[in-house]
Structure 1
Amino acid sequence: METTKVRIGENPCPKTDKLAFAVQIFFRTAAIGTTLAAACVIFNAKQTVDVMGMSFVAKYSYSSAFKFFAFANAVPCGFTSVSLVIIMFFSRHGLNASIYFMFFLHDLLMMSLVLSGVVAGTTIGTVGRDGNIKTGWLKICNRFEKYCNQVTTSLVLSYVAMICLLVLTILSAAKSRN
């Protein structure tokens, strides 16, 4: 009668690891693409409108919240690109729980940064769309429709990036426990 022993360091299911690796690659690539697209759209969001002979310009750099939102997408785009290269490198040398824990911390930090940026952008975007009568802030989206559509597109892309980074955080946390 043969007995099969499984060593602690061996992986009993290599197909599961390959699937987890493929999911990591997919979500990291999706997070890179969506944060890059969101940053590019907000960096290029600009519109000039003539009202009663006066020219008014709306662009992201006029709002500190939109500046933060733009850079809160650009920074995770860069760092997630680096993490993609690192995970590709470590996949050849074996990924262990401590490496996944480092990815967990990275993904959590990037998700938090994107989340804070998208909250800031959504807040100012809502004020731009609806205004705030009590504080005297007028809505601008009725005049700057193209600009507001660009901001909305960027916010939607950033929400998708935040969800991708949330999934990566959960996956990295689960793999670091194994």
Structure 2
Amino acid sequence: MDIMRVEAFLRVCATLLFITTACLVRLDTQTSLIFTSFSRTATFRDMNALFVLVFIDIAAAGYNLIQLVIRGLLSSHLKPDMTTSYKHLAWLSFLFDQVVAYMVFAATSAALTASLLALTGEHDLFWMKLCNKFNRFCTQIGGAMLCGYTAFIFMVMVSSLSAFGLFRHYSPRSFLDLK
């Protein structure tokens, strides 16, 4: 199995996990009775971190789909002697893979931090534990966080393969040649 196929497989897995995370967070709602006559519905819009996570994951999934299409088109037209002419595309792919991996990690970590605050509450600020009232909502958000971090791990592997694909264009002798 060559590197292009492994990278495509990892991108497909990451894309599926990004879509799963976005769907789990976006479609998660639960209504609970707070007082005897007052009900409250918990949605992803209640926490800005979850709102941002949905859009970051959708953008990351879209980016990976675009990469799959571009790589599919290039691999069908790429001849062995043309590998050096796509060096600039390797740089762009490497940089964008890095940006997507870091953005996904940041968004998922922010959502996890906000979710942990909802889980534990903050006694000094008089913030109550929300997961006591919205158990199913919090469980589903926890599953989404697990999918999000798994997708991040796949993006780290994709980024590593992208770095390998970029730096294999440079031989050790010409890589350090500053002339």
What TM-score comes out, normalization by structure 2 length? 0.85
Paired residue secondary structure (2:2):
helix
Identical counterparts, % of pairs: 24
Q: Which amino acid aligns with 1:61?
A: R
Q: Distance in 1 between matches of 2:34 and 2:19?
A: 34
Are residues 1:43 and 2:12 paired?
A: no
Query: Could you say which residue in structure 1 is the equivalent of 2:74?
Result: 90
Measure, in 1, the Cα distance between the counterparts of 2:144 and 2:72. 29
Report matched runs for 1:54-69 at 5 Å.
Answer: 54-69=38-53
* 1:162 CA drift (Å): 0.5
The runs of at least 4 consecutive aligned structure 1 residues that moved more than 3 Å come to 95-98
Alignment-mate amino acid for residue 27 of structure 1:
L
TM-score, normalized by length of structure 1?
Answer: 0.86
Unaligned runs of 5+ residues in structure 2 are 169-179
Task: Summarize the alignment of residues 106-117 of structure 1 with structure 2, pairs less than 5 Å apart.
Answer: 106-117=96-107
How much does 1:101 deviate? 2.0
Distance in 1, Cα, partners of 2:15 & 2:102: 15
| Conserved? CA contact 1:36–1:73, under 8 Å | yes
Separation of aligned partners in 2, 1:113 and 1:93: 32
Count of matched residue positions in the alignment of Structure 1 and Structure 2: 161
The aligned counterpart of 1:52 is 35
RMSD value over aligned CA atoms?
1.3
Segments of 5+ residues of structure 1 without an aligned counterpart are 1-17
Matches of 1:132 and 1:40, distance apart in 2: 28
